Structure 1
């Protein structure tokens, strides 16, 4: 088999654009040249990878099988190239970090500041998205590391996931909420009487909120559905409804009050994730060291927000 890396790149480009001409433009070659290389690849594999449909192309069964493998191969090649180039000083290095919106606004900034101070020449790229999207991009090799919310069913076996923090969710509102206990906490069941501002599909907080309400025996009423983190907080501040959010994102935010949930509450685990296959880059290893160092320092000086606790031994 004479499969070439450039053929795999062309194949992935066509698979992602669903169009030969658009794919050729994206990789910087002519459409006839790209088509020829795809035909050579198909001949080597002994199966067609695309079929023509109205307005473009779609993957065949063989193409569907090849696509994740091709992405993984290309990601591994890029990682190998960066590792060698970093080692010999040809490049300054690059780090691709993903984080959920709440972590982008809270944990990522001080950690990345420490990283930048220690490694000023490393190129940083940050992707802000929900954990499901970040896991997808990790598996595709498009991210080196990601700060995600660990799913209840357990992490994808293709990922190496290290739990780092456990945090409780709080109720964000503009006014005092009826139904609180004498110590100021709100039983989760009381949320049945409060319309919720809900995160868009793909947010971990959406699933956590809906699951918690259903376990408490009710289907929540939604005042607004499909919002991003900043929009959720703005809608709450405007009095449209309440929301379950990490306390860290509303601490000190004008116009919003925080009400803790009565035990057992709703908790989530923050984790650092990377692909299990392949070795992390020098930059990824450096960020991990800095992240754990920052969390140890914060735990020692009681600098973590209320309700947030390390899931590792901070003295280790």
Structure 2
């Protein structure tokens, strides 16, 4: 049984005439009649009573008709749904990123994507890189902005580097500080009270490892905060924090001191599962995100971007 045969059957049932049904379906009358006979043979029963000048449904035809109509409706709706998705009129993007990326990178991309594709549902998740890679592995996310290299034991992911940014030391603005706008060395952080992030944030490990590599244990003023809390603690003068400069753009109460010896950086990558093709809506979001990052990099003082 084929969909086209059901379409011919419904057309004949509606018009009660083989020639009229053939004209409606855009085929020759012999071709339509042949396909109806093939359908009847496959079912093992006649569907029409054929009399001179008249066509009527047999009991078997009456029984098949509502089901055939429902099947054709479902097929039509399925094709329409596919066309809508392929045309980005419908769909869903499940995207994850760290708090700093939502504040500094993603808001502009979300707004632009929403304006371009209002029918696409956006589902966002905030968390550290470890949490996001676990979400990708479980199939809870389509895309995630994570920090590379990925940690051992992460799921089988594809991670395309997009942006490399230099880290700075966040300090309160407008108050006396031992640091200014001139670059400092990591060794200058010895004994400095630091506000650190909770477990799972790459910035916590980056800060700790940089201090250990310089030969000293970091001095922790407050430990275990989220991005918003960490920045607020620095504003309140409770300590300093190593952060990406993008998060300071909306914080007039903070300034950033460059760290140059050695230069501290992090690389942000767009990750997804290796074994699954990205949905069309996610592909479109990825393209727009890369374009947005490229525009950000072109601005004075913007981050370094690896265009993928």
TM-score w.r.t. structure 2 length? 0.68
Q: Which whole-Å CA distance do the structure 2 matches of 1:212 and 1:286 have between them?
A: 37
Change (3 A) 1:216 1:309: same
Compute the RMSD of aligned alpha carbons: 2.4
1:155–1:161: 8 Å Cα contact kept in structure 2? no
| 2:136 aligned residue (135, 138, 145) | 138
Cα 1:86–1:292 change in 2 (3 A) is: farther
Aligned residue in 1 for 2:119: 121
Aligned position for 1:297 = 295
Q: Secondary structure at the match of 2:218?
A: coil
Cα distance, 1:205 vs. partner?
Answer: 0.6
- Counting matched residue pairs gives 226
Q: Are residues 129 and 93 of structure 1, via their aligned partners in 2, closer, same or farther at CA, if it must alter by over 3 Å?
A: same
- Could you say what secondary structure the match of 2:261 adopts? coil
Unaligned runs of 5+ residues in structure 2 are 1-77
Is contact 1:166-1:270 (8 Å) kept? Answer: yes
CA distance, structure 2, for counterparts of residue 284 and residue 250 of structure 1: 29
Written as runs of structure 1 = structure 2, the 5 A alignment for 1:83-162 is 86-89=81-84, 92-151=90-149, 156=154, 158-162=156-160
Indicate the residue corresponding to 2:197 in structure 1.
199
2: CA distance, partners of 1:253 / 1:196: 18
Q: CA deviation at 1:246?
A: 0.4
Partners of 2:187 and 2:255 in 1: CA distance: 19
Match of 1:171 in 2: 169
Shift of 1:84: 8.3
Distance 1:138 1:304 in 2: 34
Matched, 1:310 2:305: yes
SS in 1 for 2:107: helix
Q: Is the 8 A contact 2:187 2:211 kept in 1?
A: yes
User: 1:297, CA displacement in angstroms?
Assistant: 3.3
What corresponds to 1:275 in structure 2?
273
Cα displacement (A) at 1:255 = 2.1
Q: How does 1:207-222 map to 2 (within 5 A)?
A: 207-222=205-220
- Contact 1:179/1:190 (8 A) holds in 2: no
In the TM superposition, residue 303 of structure 1 has moved relative to its aligned partner by 2.0
Residues in 1 aligned to 2:128 and 2:301: alpha-carbon distance in whole angstroms: 22
| 1:257 CA drift (Å) | 2.1
**Aligned-pair CA distance for 1:149:** 1.2
Show the counterpart of 2:60: none
- Native 8 Å contact 1:179 1:187 kept in 2: no
Instruction: Say which one has the larger Rg.
Output: 2
Q: 2: CA distance between counterparts of 1:264 and 1:141?
A: 38
Question: What TM-score does the superposition give when structure 1 sets the normalisation length?
Answer: 0.66
The residue that corresponds to 1:285 in the other structure is 283
> What CA distance in whole angstroms lies between the structure 2 residues aligned with 1:286 and 1:310?
19
Hey, what's the Cα distance between the residues in 1 that align with 2:179 and 2:104? 30
Question: Could you give the per-residue CA deviations for residues 167-219 of structure 1, whole angstroms, max 9, x where no partner exists?
Answer: 01100112454377xx7111111111211001000111111111111111111
1:222-237 superposed matches below 5 A: 222-237=220-235
Question: Structure 1's 252 and 125: CA in aligned 2 closer, same or farther, altered over 3 A?
Answer: closer
Structure 1 CA distance for aligned equivalents of residues 252 and 218 of structure 2: 26
User: Given that residues 198 and 224 in structure 2 are in contact (C-alpha distance below 8 angstroms), is that contact kept between their aligned partners in structure 1?
Assistant: yes
